[in-house]
Amino acid sequence: MMDANDYIQLAELLHNLAGSFASLRMYEGLEIAREFENAVKKNNKAFAADAHKKLRAYLERFMHYTAQLSV
């Protein structure tokens, strides 16, 4: 079980990740990271779990496509 500090750190990480997505114009990732961050801040575990799954799938797709760019 996570304590309050863990939730604060997770929300901060997600906020930073959202900023990185915005900088890279990765708007789908930005939206998912914001959903995840908001769910964590509201302590909505079901919504956070759903957002986590979406984020993992998004990042897995990203990694798949970037792997194809290797020379």
Half-sphere exposure of 65 (CA within 13 A, CB side): 5
Half-sphere exposure of 55 (CA within 13 A, CB side): 19
Spell out the long-range contacts of 13-18 with Cβ–Cβ below 8 A and sequence spacing 24 or more: 14/40
Q: What is the pLDDT of residues 17-68, one digit of tens each?
A: 999 999 999 999 999 999 999 999 999 999 999 999 999 999 999 999 999 8
Question: CA 29, 34, 20: angle at the middle one, nearest 5?
Answer: 50
The pLDDT of residue 70 is 72
Half-sphere exposure of 70 (CA within 13 A, CB side): 4
Contact 14, 40 (CB under 8 A): yes
The pLDDT of residue 41 is 93
Is residue 71 very low, low, confident or very high in pLDDT (cuts 50, 70, 90)?
low
Domain boundaries, the chain: 4-68
